[in-house]
């Protein structure tokens, strides 16, 4: 899987826009702001994205901004996963591809909820520099009002990665998850499609 590497946001309509008129986010939108409502953690195929989508929809309805941190590239498996996620989402949701979290705060202003999926891929493009940027984002989001949902992989339950790069990534993502959990009102852990609220 590959993460978004550019610093400026790229606003993309998902496939449903042509079918049913999904709105695309614009960086010059005016409106509300962002607060971290929930962090949803889990492993691969744990159901974390589906849970995050339900939570975001329960508060934002058709006015949810989906923030994507993965790009298609030439990875057929990743493309298939992206398409499954798109088909599952409501037709009214906007889609924003980002590299810089500041872009999320700017684009979120006219949406009723924001869902970022996932911190895992976003961190993979940055490693150590991800932590200061995430901390700045969380500090700015703390007193804002639009519910914000973060999805991330729980990396502390698996085997120790063999490579130094893998261990470094695991450690940085683990710290990023801790920062996000501290800031979030709720934290949910998903296992085998079952979620448990742990905060």
* Residues belonging to the active site: 85
- Per the CB < 8 A criterion, the answer to whether 2 and 113 are in contact is no
Question: Cis omega (within 30 of 0) on the bond before 118?
Answer: yes
- From the list 182, 134, 177, the residue with the least C-alpha distance to 156 is 177
In this structure, what is the dihedral angle of CA atoms 155, 89, 93, 72, given to the nearest 10 degrees? 60
Q: Assign 194 to helix, strand or coil.
A: strand
């Amino acid at each position: 899987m590959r993460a978004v590497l550019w610093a400026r946001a790229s606003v993309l309509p998902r496939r449903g826009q042509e079918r049913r008129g999904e709105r695309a986010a614009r960086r010059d939108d005016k409106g509300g702001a962002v607060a971290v409502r929930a962090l949803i953690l889990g492993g691969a195929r744990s159901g974390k994205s589906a849970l995050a989508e339900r939570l975001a929809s329960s508060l934002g309805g058709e006015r949810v901004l989906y923030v994507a941190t993965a790009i298609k590239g030439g990875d057929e498996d990743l493309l298939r996963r992206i398409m499954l996620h798109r088909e599952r989402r409501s037709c009214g949701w906007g889609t924003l591809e980002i590299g810089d979290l500041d872009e999320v705060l700017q684009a979120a202003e006219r949406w009723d909820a924001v869902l970022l999926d996932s911190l895992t891929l976003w961190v993979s493009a940055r490693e150590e520099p991800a932590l200061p940027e995430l901390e700045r984002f969380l500090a700015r989001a703390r007193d804002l009002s639009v519910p914000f949902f973060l999805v991330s992989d729980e990396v502390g339950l698996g085997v120790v990665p063999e490579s130094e790069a893998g261990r470094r990534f695991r450690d940085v993502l683990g710290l990023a998850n801790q920062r996000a959990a501290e800031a979030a009102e709720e934290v949910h852990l998903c296992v085998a499609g079952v979620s448990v609220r742990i905060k």
